[in-house]
Each structure stands twice: as structure tokens, then as C-alpha cells.
A and B are shown apart, each in its own frame.
Chain A
């Protein structure tokens, strides 16, 4: 099994073909293939070395004259994202069992999307990385466009156009890099950057545009994550997408942006990002605080959690931008940077499973309410549906950052890291924790507490299948909350390895 990474990328694509042909039984196909992907991702995780370097590397020349090489590899971050993608896909498939219109195409697109995700998280050469990056976009577009809510058309378009605009920035920047250096390999470019020769090379070929290239790259990721003010596509898209697809969007696809910053932007353009640090930090704080605050005024549960997602990923961006400082060799600073980056990677995973779980619960509520998710339309649901209230409560408190559950650890590490590096940003951003708590408790209060409305008196509780589907995810939240070392044992060496190689 030397081609594990190629296999995990191709496997879902094969699954997509099979699903397309299996018609009404497509969900079974999709379940089997996403389960197999998860197993494979776990295998990859356990094969990783604890030295933090790229493992399971596959390289073969492709178009050498254009600097294109088939180059795959994963470190702690990549492998964790593979697990997350597989897990969230599996959850999304399970949450899609009510899809009746053209299930073959639906599940084929879901698996194709997974394939794009796997490719993005393993590719180390811009050429095919970019292909996967775009490949994941197309199935998402059609899933929203064909199975979405009432305003799905404009939402799908908005989603597509925005992400494309961002992608163009990426593309142009990497073309410029290729022109300047003759390579599009991430590791080679990072090497040049850490030697300090990248910027002179760019300047020699194209003039003093390195900063602009960094902006172009960041733009692509800023849209995807998103960073305010490049987020306006997100609420519409999350709200209009079928809820299972929103799980994929927020659980896995939003991580592509953070991943991109960690894998491409920081190692290659770290120096330029350090120059823009003040602006970037300001925008990240804005994302954290305004994202949380905008959630307060939303009337639709999906929109509430869409903004809440913006807020949660804002912490990742905040921490990443905070570590963009010239390396001083001071061990205290290095430790803070490591804490922040450990927190970022952990937060990516934690937010992935928690947000996906919350949207899954929303899907369950939506099925029972006849499609409505208006926040004021419920009340007292805890009485007819105590298990739903209890289980969703766990996911909500995980999102709130309750210690003992997963979200707390990553947020703690992030704040531990950024406080010494950017205490002003940290001090303002903690407001986000408070507002998020207010938002989530308000949701619980309005949906689950109070007298039960007559029309919901017979609101069906979760059935056995739903309980058994979600229980493992909730257990995982608890396990990671108590034993974050499960993930950090692999991620921390990766982070240490990065920090040893970066010179800003």
C-alpha cells in the first residue's frame, strides 16, 4: 500500500460512479464508500511518524517543463483533515436519507465532493492541488442549485462566483510564482521562502509585487474560510443549501481555506503576511466579534449557526495571523506560537465535527417541522422531544466552548497562544466567547424551553437510528474534550516541525 494517498482520493470518485449507477440504492453505496474512506483515513493517521514531517509521500514527474509534478504527502494537519472530511461526509450521507429526488446523482455529487476534499488535503503541487480545489466546488454548486431551498438559485451562484473570484487570486499569484521561480511545488517554494530568496526572485522577474501576490493568495482563502468582509456569500449559501450539504460546507469545505493558509500562505508568504499583520488581525477580530454579534439578530436557525461558524473559524484566523511575527528564537515566543497553531488545527477538527453535528440536528428538526427553522417558531420542544433536546444540547455546549467537551481545548490553546503575541486582539476577541454563549443559550431558550406550543405537542423525538447515528459523534466530542492528546500527539510534532522551518 504505497499509494494510500492516491487511493483515498480516487476511492470516493469511484464511489461516485457506482452511486450514479445504483439509483435508489445510492445511499447504501455512498455509506459504504464513505465508511471505507474513513477507515483508510484512520489507517493513514496511524501510519504517520511522530516527527512531524511529510509522510506517505508520492511523487512522480508529470510535466517537468511547467514545474508540474504529481506530489502528494500528509503531515499531522493533512491526515487530520482527511479524517475530518471522511467523517463529515459520512455524517452528511447519513443525514441525507430523506433525499428522494434523483438520489443517484445526489450521492454521486457528495462523493465527488469528498474526492475533491481528499485531493486538496494531500496535494503538494499547486497544479493538481488547484484542480481539486476547484473540483470540490462544482459538486457543491450543483448540490445547492438542484436540492436547495426556495432561493437556491441565487445562493448557489453567489457561492460559486465568490469562491471563483478568490480562486482567480490564487491562480494569478501562483502563475506569478511559477514565472519567478520555475516551480509550483509547495515544499520547494516554502524552502525558498525560508532561505529568504523568494522575494528577491519575484522582484527580479516581476518587480516589487510579492505583497500583492500574498494578497491574491490570501483573498482566495479569505473567501473560503471566510474572513470578514469576504463572507457575505456564506449566510445565504448555508441557509439555502440542503442541510446535509451545509454540514459538508461548514464541516469540511470551510477547512480548505484554513488549511490553505497553513499549507500555502504561511510557509510561502509568511514574511508578507507579517507585514500586513495589523490589518489581518483587525479583520480577524472583526470576524470573531461581528460574526458572533450578527448571529444574535438572525431569525433562522441555519443562519444563526452560519454566523456562529464565521465566529468559530475567526479564532483560527486570529491565531494564524497572530503567529505571523519574525522568529526571534525566544523560546517563550516559540511556545506561544506553537500553542496558537496547535489550537488552530485542533479547532479546525473540533469545529468540523461540532458544526456538522449541529446542522444534522437542525436537519432533524426541519424534517419534523415541515421545513421551517424560524427561531421564534418553536418553544418547549424539550417536553415532547427530551432526547433531541439533550443530545443537541451537548453539541450546542460543545460549540459554546464548555470545558469537558472538545471546543474548549482548542479555544484555550488559541488564547494561550495569542495573548502574549497580540494581547489587544486577544482581549477584544474574548468578547466573541461571551456573545456566542448568549447566542446559543438564546437558541436553547427559544427552541427547547418555555411552554410547549400546541402544534408541537406531538413533536416526534429522535428515533433509534438517529440516536445511534449521533451518539458516536457526541462521544467523540467528550473524548477530545478530556483527552486532546489523542490528536495533539500527532499534530504537535507537525507544528513544531513547521515552526522550526519558518523564517519570516
Chain B
């Protein structure tokens, strides 16, 4: 940086940085180091590995609280709430690649959420994985995941974020395929990595583009960052074809990465399959944190997404996010209705809820989307861990048709699961999910772009209540249809459930219209408590509508599944009976996998076969043709220079044909001929290259 005022500002700012900001890197580094240490432990050291992993996570949680309180105090004091720490990572030409970390309200709430939920899930895992021989490795991967995720959160550089993002992807891969001896798990792991990598390829292009245009990958750098006004003005002034500005194009490329990670259409296919991993993994990675990283990314680059929009306007990028999010929300809810695997229902529910978050971001801004991310993290982690407890109690059974009546056998799991289910359904007033979802629906309603997403979300809300009612009716009510005796899980598993359930309720307090604390904190402005927040025009009617729809979903669900309990596992589902075609369509996940199988995967195989064929037939054939030319030349040579070519020439030619055996021929001592042949060969090849060149018009001959 030769811009001296900036440099000075940076110096002043960084010498006065609070301790926690300078050492914010410790938060991701501690779990990563723990992971490295655990990697060196052998299988029997399960206890040591658990202690290391949980200890590291707890320590990171404490540091996160420190970081949070730092931001909180600044906010209370009305001073700056964004702290940066940037440094040169590597030299590049006359410049350098800078990376760094930042602490702002957005990062602070995410840090606390991830470390807190993470710690609970780590503790739960000690119970869940108690009998797994490979549990040492499990905690190694889990810690590495936590480190990567925390790195994504504090990154102040798109490059650093991407690096941690990929580490998170790696651990997701390792943990989905944790039971690697199961071919389905190995396949699901690969699918997850590759599908998200499709998004990441676009993401990478977006990063290099942004980097090339703005000269930095830093988000914020005291005015010189890539998403600060100066850079955005430049990006808005540049065209990128198709009538898009460079800002829009880059925003869309980054969103493609977010869509891959957050299971948005059409890159959602990996997330349901990811349920092959152990259930704590599904809870931590594929529900609460990693899949939310895409949402977090969109929130982080929000200034870029919204660049150029005045008040009451939206942008192309946000419009795309809103529609994709709404489509995903509706799709996930529809498909969840017809699934029978307890974890898959929750997985599609996650897909759907991530869609809500995206719509929230696109229509209501960062705080709206992020609030749902936080509440969802708690109640969805709760639901997954509850599902894990159920699976554990039912002897590894996952099909809800083989469950039933578990509320008696597993009371604690039942009670907490109900809390999670009601929060997810958006049961009015008491549960956090109501407030966060309602804020999104409200934002979609008042969005200037279109009313389409609003209606899609409302439909999704009915379906959510419906499929969750179906699930709890089949799992906890009626009579037990499984094998063996269901049993309650140990305290180490149920206590985390209770804690999560507590937060699934109380978090709603932070985001009511009367006291929108969360929004105020994220946007760094004061929040007075004021009942008048409810009297905003249209707000109460909307809440009423949402409430009616939730009750509609719950009521229909209960009448179909709760009031009339199925007796056996084999019975047809009521929806299946009524509309078999629809149920089949939804049950088969709208045939997305089949569609990809028939298109993308087939093209991939064809291209690979083509490349292989080109290699053997065309490129190899070209060479064979040239070799044949050599042979002809050799024959001509023989006729001319017969005085120094001996009788073994034909044998040489034979070898040439059979093995491309020019060498044997050469070694027989015919150096001048060999040179002549090679010289000609060069000319031939050069000629080919030049002809190719002149055809494409690149060369003046």
C-alpha cells in the first residue's frame, strides 16, 4: 500500500485495537490445533480426544463471549462497532495479497452461536459416539470443522473466507463419509463435495474478478475495501455484458457459491444425502452452522449485493436471491411432506428454511435473514439431536413408519422435540421461530420486487406445520411399531437437548417488533422498547394470517396423522392414498437426482469418454501417422543411400511399426538418417501447428 493516508489510518487503528481483536484468530485456531493434536492420537485415546475437542471448543466459546461483549460495549457506548485487523499474506508483483479478520456485530453473534451450539453438540457426541471405535477420528474432524467455520465467520477477506469455506467443505466430506465402509456414505460424501464445488468454482471466479477490479480481497479496509463505497462505485461503472454491471455479475457468482453451501435450488441435491453422516454431524454441520455459511456469506457481502439500489429499490442480484430462496423454501417444504426417514424430513426442512433466510436477506436486509439463521440454528440443532436420540433409542431405526408412541418411552426427548417442532412450525408468540419467520414473511410482503416470494413463503409455512405434525404424530404418538424396546438416551445427550430447547423459546425475545434488539445490534443503532412497534400498518393482520396458516397446517396434519394413527408400518400414507401421483412425485424428490443423472452426469461421462477416445485415437493416431511418414522416408532413404544402410533396415522398420521403435533403428548407427528424419518430423509438426494457427486467424503467415 503506497497510499500513505490509508496506511496511517490503519496504523493508528491497529495500535489501539483491543486485545480480543488482535487475537481474534485464536478463536478458530484453538479448535484447529486441537484437531491436529487429536489426529496424532491413536484410536484407544477416545477420552483424551473428547476432552481436547470439548475443551478447545469451550475455550473458543469464552473468547467469543469476550469478543461479543467488546462489540456490545462499543454499541452501548455509541462508538464504532467494526474492528479490523489486516496484514500482508503474500507478495504479488508490486503489490501484495492482504488478508485479515474483523469483528463486528454480525461476526460476534455468529461466533457466539457457533461456539455455543458447537459445544453442546460436542458434548452430546460423546454419548452418541460412545460405542464407535473410530470416535477419536470423529472428534478430530469435528474440531477441524469448528475451526474452519469460525474462520469463515471472522474472515475480513473473501480469499481467507474462501479458504476456511473449503476446509469446512472438506470436514463435511470427511464426516458425511465417516462410516466409509458403507458405500452409500462414501458416495454421499463425494456428492456433497462435488456439488458444493460446482458452486465454489463460480465463487472462485467471483473472487478473482473482484480482486482484479478492486485490487483487494478485503471486505473492509478503512475505505479501501472491496465492498466499501469507493470500490462499489467502480464496480457499478463497469459493464459485464448482458446489461449487467460488474457488481451484479460478481454478486451473482458469489451467490452461486452460497447456493452450493446452503443447499439452494438447483444445488440442493447433496444436503439430504448428507444425512448418511452421524446425527451430531447432521445437527452441527448440515443444519445449524455450515449450511448457514452461505447465508452468512450473502449477509457479509450484502453491500455488494445491494450496490446501486436507492431507498425503496432492489437490485438484480437481490431479486435473484429472493426468487431462488423462495423457490427453495417452497420446494423443500413440499418434498419434506412425502419423506419417511426422520432425518431426511429434517434435511428437506433445512433446505426450506435456508430458502426463508435467503428471502429474508434479499427482501428485508441482513438482520432479518440473520435472525432466522440464529433461531433456526438452535431449534434445528435441537430437532436433529432429538432425532438422534430417537434413532439411538429405537436401535438405529430411521423410518418414522417403524416408530410411534415414543412419548412414553422417551419423555425428555419428546418434550424437547415438541419445543423444536413448534418453533420450526412458527407457533405464535412463545416460540422464537414465530418471530424470526414472521419478520421474513413481513419483509417479503413489503418487498418492492414482487409478491411472488411472499405467497410462496406463506404456502411453505402451512406445509412446514403440516409435515412437522406428521412427523411427531408418527414418531411420538400412537403405538410403538418398531422392534425391540425403545429407551431414553443418557443424560449427556438429553441435557444438551434441554438447553437448546430453552433457547429455542427465549431467543424470540430479541426480535419482537416492540423490541427489535437483534436488528438494532446488527445495524448498530439504539433500540428503545416500544409497544408501538406492533402498530406498524399491516403488521398485526399479517401476523394473524401467519397464525391462521400455522394452525391450518397443524390441524390438517393432526387430523390426517394424529387423530387416526396408523396401526402397522406397511399401511399407505393418507396423502399417498388420496393423491398417489403427487405423493410419488414428492417422495422421489421431484426427480432432481434422476434429472441430473440423465443430463449433467451423462454429459460428464460422455466428455470423459471423448477425451479418452481423442487421446487414444486422434492424438495417438496423429503420432502414428507421423511415424508412418518417417517409415516411408526411411524407405526412400534406403533407395538413395543404400551404400551406408545395411540389411537390417527392414527389421528396423518392423520395430518401428510394432513399438514405435524409432530408437532401435537409430541405435543401429544410422545417425545422419535419423537426424534427417527428425528434422522432417519437426517440420511436419510445426506445419500442423501453423496451419492450425492460420485457420484460426491468429498468425500472419
B197: interface (CB < 8 Å):
yes
Please pick, from A235, A331, A449, the residue contacting B94 in the complex, using a CB distance under 8 A. Answer: A331
Please pick, from A277, A339, A496, the residue contacting B698 in the complex, using a CB distance under 8 A. Answer: A277
A351: interface (CB < 8 Å):
no
B93: interface (CB < 8 Å):
yes
> In A285-330, which residues have CB < 8 Å from any B CB?
289-291, 293-294, 296-298
Contact A335/B92 with A215-B686, A277-B698, A449-B177 known, Cβ cut-off 8 Å? yes
State how many residues of chain A have any CB contact under 8 Å with chain B. Answer: 89
Contact A294/B615 with A157-B663, A331-B94, A445-B190 known, Cβ cut-off 8 Å? yes
In Å, the complex CA distance between A158 and B624 comes to: 11
Docked-complex contact B90 and A488, CB < 8 angstroms: yes
A489 to chain B: which residues have CB within 8 Å?
Answer: 91
Contact A415/B208 with A442-B190, A496-B93 known, Cβ cut-off 8 Å? yes
* Min distance, Cβ A111 to any Cβ of chain B, angstroms: 23
Docked-complex contact A408 and B194, CB < 8 angstroms: no
A182: interface (CB < 8 Å):
no
B215 to chain A: which residues have CB within 8 Å?
Answer: 332, 335
A420 to chain B: which residues have CB within 8 Å?
Answer: 212
A157 to chain B: which residues have CB within 8 Å?
Answer: 659-664
Contact A448/B180 with A158-B660, A212-B686, A419-B208 known, Cβ cut-off 8 Å? yes
B451: interface (CB < 8 Å):
no
Binds B, one of A26-34, A248-256, A365-373, A429-437: A429-437
> In B592-650, which residues have CB < 8 Å from any A CB?
604-605, 607-612, 614-615, 618-620, 622-623
Docked-complex contact B181 and A297, CB < 8 angstroms: no
A277 to chain B: which residues have CB within 8 Å?
Answer: 698
Docked-complex contact B170 and A402, CB < 8 angstroms: yes
B92 to chain A: which residues have CB within 8 Å?
Answer: 335, 338-339, 342, 413, 416, 488, 492
Number of A-B residue pairs, CB cutoff 8 Å, is 222
A485 to chain B: which residues have CB within 8 Å?
Answer: 88-91
B183: interface (CB < 8 Å):
yes
Closest to B170 in A: A402
Docked-complex contact B90 and A484, CB < 8 angstroms: yes
> In B647-701, which residues have CB < 8 Å from any A CB?
658-664, 675, 678-679, 681-682, 685-686, 689-690, 692-693, 696-700
Binds B, one of A88-96, A116-124, A164-172, A186-194: A164-172
> In B72-118, which residues have CB < 8 Å from any A CB?
88-95
A235 to chain B: which residues have CB within 8 Å?
Answer: 615
Docked-complex contact B678 and A168, CB < 8 angstroms: yes
* Min distance, Cβ B66 to any Cβ of chain A, angstroms: 25
In Å, the complex CA distance between A496 and B209 comes to: 22
B173 to chain A: which residues have CB within 8 Å?
Answer: 441
* Min distance, Cβ A459 to any Cβ of chain B, angstroms: 14
In Å, the complex CA distance between A219 and B689 comes to: 9
In Å, the complex CA distance between A280 and B620 comes to: 20
Docked-complex contact A169 and B163, CB < 8 angstroms: no
Contact A290/B611 with A488-B90, A495-B93 known, Cβ cut-off 8 Å? yes
Please pick, from A331, A402, A445, A488, the residue contacting B166 in the complex, using a CB distance under 8 A. Answer: A402
Task: Give the interface SS of chain B, mostly helix, strand, loop or mixed.
Answer: helix
In Å, the complex CA distance between A172 and B682 comes to: 10
A42: interface (CB < 8 Å):
no
Docked-complex contact B698 and A278, CB < 8 angstroms: yes
Docked-complex contact A419 and B209, CB < 8 angstroms: yes
Closest to B693 in A: A279
A451: interface (CB < 8 Å):
yes
* Min distance, Cβ B196 to any Cβ of chain A, angstroms: 10
A224: interface (CB < 8 Å):
no
Instruction: Give 26 pairs: A residue, B residue, CB < 8 Å, sorted on A.
Output: A153-B661, A154-B661, A157-B662, A158-B660, A165-B685, A216-B686, A230-B685, A278-B693, A278-B698, A293-B608, A294-B611, A331-B94, A337-B93, A338-B94, A342-B91, A402-B167, A403-B163, A416-B92, A419-B208, A426-B208, A437-B194, A441-B193, A445-B187, A445-B189, A449-B185, A451-B183
Ranked nearest first, the 6 interchain pairs of A and B with the lowest CB-CB distance are A338-B93, A403-B163, A449-B186, A293-B611, A154-B659, A296-B608
Q: State the B residues within 8 Å of A (CB).
A: 39, 88-95, 159, 162-167, 170, 173, 177, 180-181, 183, 185-187, 189-190, 193-194, 197-198, 201, 204-205, 208-209, 211-212, 215, 604-605, 607-612, 614-615, 618-620, 622-623, 658-664, 675, 678-679, 681-682, 685-686, 689-690, 692-693, 696-700
- 10 A-B pairs besides A402-B166, A441-B194, A488-B92 with CB distance below 8 A are A153-B661, A158-B660, A161-B663, A215-B689, A219-B682, A419-B208, A430-B201, A434-B194, A449-B183, A499-B93
Q: State the A residues within 8 Å of B (CB).
A: 141, 153-154, 156-158, 160-161, 164-165, 168-169, 172, 211-212, 215-216, 219, 228-232, 235, 275-279, 282, 289-291, 293-294, 296-298, 331-332, 334-339, 342, 380, 382-383, 390, 397, 402-404, 408-409, 412-413, 415-416, 419-420, 426-427, 430-431, 433-435, 437-438, 441-442, 444-445, 448-452, 484-485, 488-489, 492, 495-496, 499
